[in-house]
Amino acid sequence: MPNKKTRNQKAKRRSLLSDKRGISVALTTMIITAGVIAFGIAVLYWAYGWGNVANQQYSATVANSQDAIGERLAFEYTTYSGNQLKVYLINNGMSNNVSIARVYIWDNSHQPIGTFTPSLMNISLPNTPIKSLNIGDEGYFTINAPGLSGYCSFRVVTERGRNFDGTFSAP
């Protein structure tokens, strides 16, 4: 026959197993702790992802700025006849893929004539359409600009935001 001490231990074990109050507090604490840790890891990965995106954007901006600094366009000559402005230029800088975003034209009293977007340039030899000039490439673009007379000026703005100014004489 089991002694009294053994019966007491068995009764305590049964009461511990049947009494859920202490276990539910511990279980709840563990679940909340696991949730907080999981949420913290999720926030960490989210912040890490945004950090990578910001770093990539910064790197692209710096590379684009370096390319913009290396852009140099020289105007070989400019002609205006039959309401068409034709600008011959050369990429004499250190950046490839120099493309033109806009061209601004002013008349002889420096009044704006308009803003133009040349869709394609042409390589001088052979006469083939291109979108950009690489280092050493020569090309030209044409713009239909009616009604110009006298000494006029223009500004070529590249896709990277660099400005290059030139002048021409219209009959």
Shared domain check, 48 and 82: no
As a whole number of angstroms, the distance between CA 163 and CA 35 comes to 56
Among residues 68, 95, 115, which one ends one of the domains? 68
DSSP labels, 37-93: HHHHHHHHHHHHHHHHHHHHHHHHHHHHHHHHHT--EEEEEEEEETTEEEEEEEE-S
pLDDT at 67: 73
pLDDT at 133 over 90: no
Number of domains making up the chain: 2
| pLDDT band (50, 70, 90) for residue 157 | very high
37's tokens: 């840790």
Same domain membership, residue 77 and residue 59? no
Instruction: Assign 127 a pLDDT band (cuts: 50, 70, 90).
Output: low
pLDDT (0 to 100) of residue 155: 94
Co-location of 10 and 58 in the same domain: yes
Whether residue 15 contacts residue 7, with contact meaning beta carbons closer than 8 Å, is answered with no
30-46: pLDDT as tens digits: 899 999 999 999 999 99
Q: Does 111 lie in the same domain as 48? A: no
What is the predicted pLDDT for the residue at 19?
A: 61
Question: Residues 51-67: pLDDT tens digits?
Answer: 999 999 988 888 777 77
**Based on the domain organization, do 157 and 114 belong to the same domain?**
yes
Q: What is this structure's pTM?
A: 0.62
What confidence category does residue 164 fall into, taking pLDDT thresholds of 50, 70 and 90?
Answer: very high
pLDDT band of 83, cuts 50, 70, 90: confident
Instruction: Among 46, 68, 90, identify where a domain stops.
Output: 68
State whether 142 and 157 are in the same domain. yes
Strands 163-170 and 138-144 turn out to be unpaired
Does residue 70 have a pLDDT over 70? yes
The two tokens of residue 134 are: 């690489």
Question: To the nearest whole percent, how much of the chain has pLDDT over 70?
Answer: 85
> In this prediction, what percent of the chain has a pLDDT beyond 90?
23
- For residues 164 and 73, what is the distance between their CA atoms, to the nearest angstrom? 7
Q: Are residues 95 and 136 in the same domain?
A: yes
If asked whether residues 59 and 97 sit together in one domain, one would say no
Is the domain of 58 the same as that of 132? no
Domain boundary among the residues 35, 68, 101 is at 68
Query: Is residue 85 domain-shared with residue 33, that is, in the same domain?
Result: no
Angle at 118 between CA 117 and CA 124, to 5 degrees: 160
Domain of residue 60: give its range. Answer: 4-68
Shared domain check, 83 and 14: no
CATH number at residue 113: 2.60.40
* Residues 98 and 152 grouped into a single domain: yes
| Residue 77 pLDDT exceeds 70 | yes
How far is Cα 85 from Cα 128, in angstroms, rounded to an integer? 18
Question: Residue 56, Cα to own-chain centre: how many angstroms?
Answer: 9
